[in-house]
Amino acid sequence: MKKITIAIDGFSSCGKSTMAKALARNIGYLYFDSGAMYRAVALYCMQNGIIANGEIDKEALRQQIDNIKITFCADAETKNSVTYLNGVNVENEIRTLEVSQLVSHVAALDFVRTALIDQQREMGKSKGIVMDGRDIGTTVFPDAELKIFVTASAEVRAKRRYDELIARGSTPDYNDILANVVERDHLDQTREISPLRKADDALLLDNSEMTVEGQLAWLEEQFKLRTAE
């Protein structure tokens, strides 16, 4: 069967990574979380004093961007994809609200996007991948054979992120999370470079009322259709 590239884009906390991961596992493809890469750069800024008065020191980050290498590796036990920043497992650190609050600003920087898009294209060179993000179908892999654009209401998405943080042992405030979701939607859609938008040839999936199983069944059907062509 021919190998294809699957691009899953959409708003934050839509459950994109849950469905992308499950799809990749079921069809034997590699999964890449491009949002985790932007989060890792935000974490790098926090860890390396590249933030002053709550603002990113753009020049310092520009000088260091080529030293930031992000890789993914499957966890030996869970088989889940784990994010490494310069060889260190940062999977938990990149999911904090602090990182979530900084990441849209990092993702709006042109030199950050250029560097990460290069790394993403390298990861997808041999096809047989599922990558999720905001600009995968529009910019990173405009020729992807299967493109999905996922959406759900802001409240549903905030509740999902809230539950995820609770499950990780945090004590988040729902209203802070909702405000963060709304702010990130705005920043993601209005940034100058690679703003979040549905590619013309992407299939729209509103999963506000769908179960994870229902979404997965639908995705696998789309995959079968594309690979049978």
**Is 133 one of the binding residues for ligand DC (CB under 6 A)?**
yes
- Exactly one of 39, 147, 157, 160 binds ligand DC (CB under 6 A); which one? 39
3-state helix, strand, coil in the chain (%, to 5): 50, 20, 30
Strand partners, 81: 74
Size of the site for ligand DC (CB under 6 A): 14
105 binds ligand DC (CB under 6 A): no
223 binds ligand DC (CB under 6 A): no
Using CB under 6 A as the binding rule, whether residue 61 contacts ligand DC is answered as no
The residues, any chain, with a CB within 8 Å of residue 162's CB and separated by 6 or more, are 172, 174, 177
- Identified binder of ligand DC from the candidate list 188, 199, 202, 215, rule CB under 6 A: 188
For residue 188, the minimal CB distance to ligand DC (Å) is 5
Of residues 1-30, which lie at the interface with ligand DC (CB under 6 A)? 12
- Residues 10 and 119: their CA atoms lie apart, in Å, by 20
Binding of ligand DC at residue 160 (CB under 6 A)? no
Of 135, 146, 147, 162, the one binding ligand DC (CB under 6 A) is 135
Distance, in Å, from the CA atom of 23 to the CA atom of 229, rounded to the nearest integer, reads 19
Q: How far is the CB of 151 from ligand DC (least distance, A)?
A: 13
**161 forms part of the interface with ligand DC (CB under 6 A):** no
Cβ atoms 126, 4 nearer than 8 A: no
Q: Residue 83, interface with ligand DC (CB under 6 A)?
A: no
**Binding of residue 185 to ligand DC (CB under 6 A):** no
Q: Smallest distance from the beta carbon of 147 to ligand DC, in angstroms?
A: 13
Q: How far is CA 61 from the centre of its chain?
A: 21
Task: Count Cβ atoms below 10 Å from residue 14 Cβ, excluding itself.
Answer: 24
Q: Is residue 38 within the footprint of ligand DC (CB under 6 A)?
A: yes
What span, in angstroms and rounded, lies between the C-alpha atoms of 116 and 122? 10
Contact 220, 27 (CB under 8 A): yes
Contact set with ligand DC (CB under 6 A) = 12, 34-35, 38-39, 103-104, 107, 133-136, 184, 188
